[in-house]
Amino acid sequence: MARTSRTLSEPDLELALLRKSVGTLMAGRHACADCGRTPLVGERMYHFGRSATVCALCTPLRRAEPDAVELVRHFERGHTVRRVTRHAA
């Protein structure tokens, strides 16, 4: 029996690459535990316990006080080039 090699067409390859890149982006993002919304940069996320991270819009639905508040930062924070100034000695 002869084996046929399966090749991807160009549209199939584009779709596969798109799905892979979207999956990678979604893996590293913050998301609200209640509504599933991705917060904007500069928005605050409220932590309730270990697993519940809630956006500012869903926080009023919780009766307890949050354990911590975190500011959502850009994904490149800490990876950007910084200008270093040298002071005269």
Asked whether residue 5 is domain-assigned, the answer is no
| Residue at token pair 């956006």 | 55
- The rounded distance, in Å, linking the Cα atoms of 32 and 43 is 12
Q: Which residues have a Cβ under 8 Å from the Cβ of 72 and sit 6 or more positions away?
A: 30, 39, 40, 41, 42, 43, 44, 45
> Which DSSP category does 75 fall into?
T
On the question of pLDDT at 3 being above 80, the answer is: no
* pLDDT, tens only, 28-85: 667 888 898 888 888 888 988 877 889 989 989 888 899 988 888 776 655 555 566 6
Asked whether residue 64 is domain-assigned, the answer is yes
On the question of pLDDT at 5 being above 60, the answer is: no
Expressed as residue numbers, the domain containing 46 is 32-83
Asked whether residue 61 is domain-assigned, the answer is yes
Asked whether residue 49 is domain-assigned, the answer is yes
pLDDT given for residue 85 in this prediction: 66
Asked whether residue 16 is domain-assigned, the answer is no
pLDDT-based confidence at residue 26 (cuts at 50, 70, 90) = low
Q: Are the CB atoms for 56 and 46 separated by under 8 Å? A: yes
Q: Are the CB atoms for 42 and 71 separated by under 8 Å? A: yes
